[in-house]
Structure 1
Amino acid sequence: MKSASWCVVKVGGSLFDLPDLQQRLRCWLAQRQGQRHLFVAGGVAWVDQLRSWDRRYRLDPVTAHWLAIDCMQVTAALLHTLLPEATRIRTWDDWLALEASGERQVILDVKQFLQVVEPTLPGVRLVADWRVSSDSIAARVATAVAADALVLLKSRAPVGREPTAAWAEENYVDVWFPQLMTDCADVAWVNLRDDQWAATMDRKGD
């Protein structure tokens, strides 16, 4: 499964309300020419509504988990409209067919990966409940493809700048994520909502 130069990028669902998200993503990617990116889209807005329904209807945890994964398929489709140059894939066979190709940007629908591939991976397996979010899912994708790095694109910076269990304590990542960090070669974050950062990127693009 190894692909030497892939970086897994989790795009936080909270970023999808940014009117200039497409520009911010492309500015960030422009800094990283030569790197290959495998995107996982978070589903925050839809998942937050699902959490509300869960509180009201007391959903089975496994049912709620897979409904949340369905929400991530919606944001993956939305991400593809913002980055149409990327290749959107839905199955692991699709990934295996293109990982050694010349593709530079790939968006993964994670449902089939979670159903078929993730349970076979070494390391700590994901649980099917609210302890797991797209953060941990992206970490497992990074393990599966032996990625050089995992980058979390978020709406804020963490209080603790280095990846530790404190990230979960401050709700920067889900509570399952700290168990998975050691399986990732490198974990980094970017506050893509930071207007000062965006202005800097705009100037670099002038």
Structure 2
Amino acid sequence: MAIDGIIIIKLGGSLSRSDTLVDCLNAVEKNHQGRAVVIVPGGGGFADQVRLAQQHWQFDDTTAHHMALLAMQQIALMLKGLKPDFAIADTVAAIHDQLNRKKTVIWSPDIIELDNAGIEASWDITSDSLAAWLAKTLSATELILIKSAVIDSSLSPRQLAEQHIVDKAFCDFVAEAAFKVHIINAQNYGVGITST
């Protein structure tokens, strides 16, 4: 069954290093009450460790990609620990199931599902692009990327990619998107955007 008005909210991994993370989770509850919401976690410090390990050991990008997805899964578990009423779901089908139960969902990306979807193993594709892939796959109406970086709202996604605020592949993932895209600083979340 199709669910109307799904909102995908990507929480930048760097938010996990500050109290801003809890503020953002609280704002998700407050701003989107009664809406179908899926939170996409960044990989945070766990993904940073994957980058360092790959630089040191020189293993292939597929291995690094799978390890980075595990980093997102770890942050997903942490978010669930902070918000026990939220539900974790790993596949698109599991997300639909939890949304039908009126749960706010935390996506813990399934490695096999993403491999089967043909997601390229590359550092050009991070949780930003994966959030866009999920938004398209779920026919979401909105994708909100919440970042710790200062965001110039006059810049296009391509310009934000050039500043390394979103990943290099993000523009391709949101090209001709049927959903609205918002890229905002965490301090402005709840002030700069609310869903009606």
The Cα of 1:172 is off from its aligned counterpart by 0.6
Partner of 2:51 in structure 1? 51
Change (3 A) 1:80 1:199: closer
Partner of 2:11 in structure 1? 11
1:153 aligns with 2:152: no
User: What is the root-mean-square deviation of aligned Cα atoms in Å?
Assistant: 2.3
Structure 2 residues not aligned, in runs of 5+: none
CA contact (8 A) 1:9 1:40 kept: yes
CA contact (8 A) 1:80 1:86 kept: yes
Change (3 A) 1:97 1:35: closer
Q: 2:183 aligns with which of 176, 189, 202?
A: 189
Structure 1 segments, 4+ long, off by >4 Å, are 197-201
**Residues 76-115 of structure 1: pairs in structure 2 closer than 5 A:** 76-99=76-99, 101-112=100-111, 113-115=113-115
Deviations 1:45-72 (A, max 9, x none): 1111211111111111111111111111
**TM-score, structure 2 as length reference:** 0.86
Partner of 1:204 in structure 2? none
SS at match of 2:157: coil
The Cα of 1:96 is off from its aligned counterpart by 3.6
SS at match of 1:98: helix
Tell me the distance in 2 between the aligned counterparts of 1:184 and 1:31. 22
CA contact (8 A) 1:10 1:41 kept: yes
CA contact (8 A) 1:163 1:187 kept: no
Tell me the distance in 1 between the aligned counterparts of 2:126 and 2:92. 20
Aligned length in residues: 190
CA contact (8 A) 1:10 1:138 kept: yes
Counterpart residue identity of residue 109, structure 1: S
Counterpart residue identity of residue 156, structure 1: A
Structure 1 residues not aligned, in runs of 5+: 120-125, 202-206
Q: 1:133 aligns with which of 121, 126, 136?
A: 126
Counterpart residue identity of residue 141, structure 1: L
Change (3 A) 1:115 1:103: farther
Tell me the distance in 1 between the aligned counterparts of 2:50 and 2:130. 18
The Cα of 1:175 is off from its aligned counterpart by 0.3
Deviations 1:128-186 (A, max 9, x none): 11111000000000001000100001102323545431111000111000111122511
Change (3 A) 1:200 1:168: closer
The Cα of 1:4 is off from its aligned counterpart by 1.2
